[in-house]
Amino acid sequence: MADTPGRLPTFDDQLRCSCCRPPPGELRFSGRPLAAADRAGNGLTTAPHPRHVVAAPASGVRTKRGRADRADRPPRAHIRVAVPQVDRAALQPAAGSAHTRHPRPADSVQHPVESSPRSRRSRRTPRHRPAPDNQPTSTASDDTQTGQLPRVAGRRRTVLRTLAAVALLAAAALVLGLSWVPDPDEPSRPPTADELTRLSAVRVTNYRDLRAGVNLTAGTGAARIDLVGWIDWSRPLLYLDLGGPGAGTERGLLQATPGVMLLRPAPTTPAPPSPAPPPLVPPTNGWRLAAPSATDRLQPLLDLLFALATDRSDPPAGETARWIGSADDADVLAAQLPPAQPGAPTPPATEVRWWVDREARLHRLEARLPNLGPVAVRLNRTDRPTLRPVEALGGQPGTPRPLSTAERRRLTLLPTQLRTAGEARATLTALIDSEANLHGTGWVNWSRRSAYLAVDDLDPPRRRILLRHERGRTTQTELPATVNAGVDPVEPPLPVPTAGWKPAPDTGLAALLDAALRAATTPEEGTARRIRGDRLNDTDLDVVEVAAIGEPIRYWLDRSGLLHRLQLPTAAGTWAQVDLTFGDSAAN
């Protein structure tokens, strides 16, 4: 630094040389001019400048550290600094040299610098580097306790910079999050050849898989209908629990084939909180044909489920088929539902969507049906129990085969056993139509070739009649209200009333009673076959079907050849039955 005329050298000027500069952390004096006494030949100041003298606090006054000074505390020692005599000419750099080291004067002596024990540490003296001319002189006040310069400002700047960076990043993330828009879905396109092949094989795959769990929802709001259960496409058979706000009085169990729908209403039973499948073994009683109002609402849904399977692949979908997207590891395809059978009308379903996986298995189907609205069908491919149809639908299908020698002999001896027994107690169950769900009790007499029963119609208004079948003629009369009032099942009165009989309408009961009486005649063995083995009242039975004139008749025979049940199909597609109990008291 060049000297200014009339300007006295300062202490900072003399400390430009690194050999004379105190180490970091030591005291630094301000740039005041040196006093004449300070520039004396001995090079030592006799007393510190008043600015650097730290006065001891008064007794009883709390310092920055929060402790009260005791009166006997010794005063703080003054700090003495040795200032060497430096030749100003020796500090000037050589001409033409930018950064020339300042030589140490030969007669200069490096004096020790006294410092506080608190800041004393060993450091190597750094090499001399000239300070830049534009370096500002610090004007910060010294720490009155330690004599060191504060470093709070630098740390505060670092913290502020960090906080500013974090705030900037958070703001950027918020802006990006609010302005983010998901990528648009892939537009629909025509299906590939592989997708068309899998779509054509969906229904035949269902047929080969035999069964699946079903969860169907139709409609919305108060009109919603829930159907939960199973479907067996190989028979075909549906066994479902009917629920939802739109089920009404039909809420309960449902079993159906493509042409027959049976309901077992349970409107008084508390509805489950969520749709649940029915019991695996269905109840044996309480079933009836669905009323026309229920059939009109539910039959389109059942037809849709039955139409999801066929024994042959469908032709490829037309040009209207589209690939919509992918979901749940399946391709979503839009295509019209094909007819249930070749030549059948096209189902009325519209906006059909198929969820088909890589193995041509259907997992979900959505459509719209007239008068029902949106319909969603979910199939559980792993829930595949064996279904048990109720006896009104024919019971288990079994595996039909010709009769064995023992079975043929027992069938041949049946008429003899019935004529020997003479008569048996009979229990009749016949679902003739939706307004005639009949249940009756009475007797069958093979010796007199007659039957006498009291029949109760289970549907309201409940009617009770007396039915008599004798010599191929069926008559009936109203049962007096005073007879067996409140008894269920009703018992026919004895002796048999003699008045009030009139011809009975042809409801199908006459054919059932006539078949029971004809069982005492020799059947045609060539037309008989064994349908299956079954069990009734803890007795093992063979179900034998005989192709009689008109409709087939099924006989349930025990190992001795005694008849326990007789079944006959009705015009409604159900099976009417008569259960026989031998050895009970009978009418004469």
Say whether pLDDT at 18 is over 90.
no
Say whether pLDDT at 374 is over 60.
yes
Q: Tokens 């035949």 label which residue?
A: 204
Q: How far is CA 131 from CA 16, 124, 134, 135, in A?
A: 7, 19, 8, 7
Specify whether the backbone of 308 is left (phi greater than 0), alpha (psi in -120 to 50) or beta: alpha
Fold agreement between 193-380 and 398-581:
yes
In the prediction, which pLDDT does 123 show?
47
pLDDT band at 556 (very low <50, low <70, confident <90, very high): very high
Q: Tokens 């199973």 label which residue?
A: 230
* Residue 223 vs residue 271, higher pLDDT: 223
Q: What are the extents of the domains in the chain?
A: 1-149, 193-380, 398-581
Residue 221 tokens read as 């709001």
In the prediction, which pLDDT does 483 show?
57
How does strand 362-369 pair with strand 528-536?
unpaired
Could you say which DSSP state residue 379 is in?
E
Does 50 sit behind a cis peptide bond, omega within 30 degrees of 0 on the bond before it? no
In the prediction, which pLDDT does 133 show?
52
Amino acid at position 326, single letter: S
In the prediction, which pLDDT does 82 show?
52
Amino acid at position 567, single letter: Q
Instruction: Find out if CATH 3.30.565 is the number for domain 193-380.
Output: no
Q: With CA atoms as reference, report the closest residue to 271 among 294, 229, 242.
A: 242
Which stretch of DSSP H or E encloses residue 203? Answer: helix 202-209
Could you say which DSSP state residue 33 is in?
B
Phi, psi (degrees; rounded to nearest 5) at 419: -65, -35
* Residue 424 vs residue 108, higher pLDDT: 424
CA pair distance 88, 39, nearest whole angstrom: 13
Could you say which DSSP state residue 541 is in?
E
Residues 497-506 pLDDT 10s: 888 899 988 7
Specify which residues 467 forms β-bridges with.
453, 476
Average the pLDDT over each of 175-184, 242-251, 513-522 and give the range with the smallest value.
175-184
In the prediction, which pLDDT does 248 show?
84
Say whether pLDDT at 299 is over 90.
yes
pLDDT band at 186 (very low <50, low <70, confident <90, very high): low
250 touches 241 (CB < 8 A): no
Phi, psi (degrees; rounded to nearest 5) at 126: -70, 160
What is the CATH topology of the domain spanning 398-581?
Answer: outer membrane lipoprotein receptor (LolB), chain A (2.50.20)
pTM surpassing 0.85? no
Q: With CA atoms as reference, report the closest residue to 82 among 19, 38, 144.
A: 38
540 touches 527 (CB < 8 A): no
Residue 42 tokens read as 């001995």
In the prediction, which pLDDT does 487 show?
56
Residue 218 tokens read as 């139709």
Specify which residues 261 forms β-bridges with.
256
In 307-466, which ranges are continuous DSSP H helix?
405-412, 414-421
Segment 133-145 mean pLDDT: 48
In the prediction, which pLDDT does 445 show?
93
Q: What is the mean pLDDT of the chain?
A: 78
CA pair distance 490, 492, nearest whole angstrom: 7
Residues 476-490 pLDDT 10s: 988 766 555 555 667
* Residue 65 vs residue 259, higher pLDDT: 259
pLDDT band at 389 (very low <50, low <70, confident <90, very high): very high
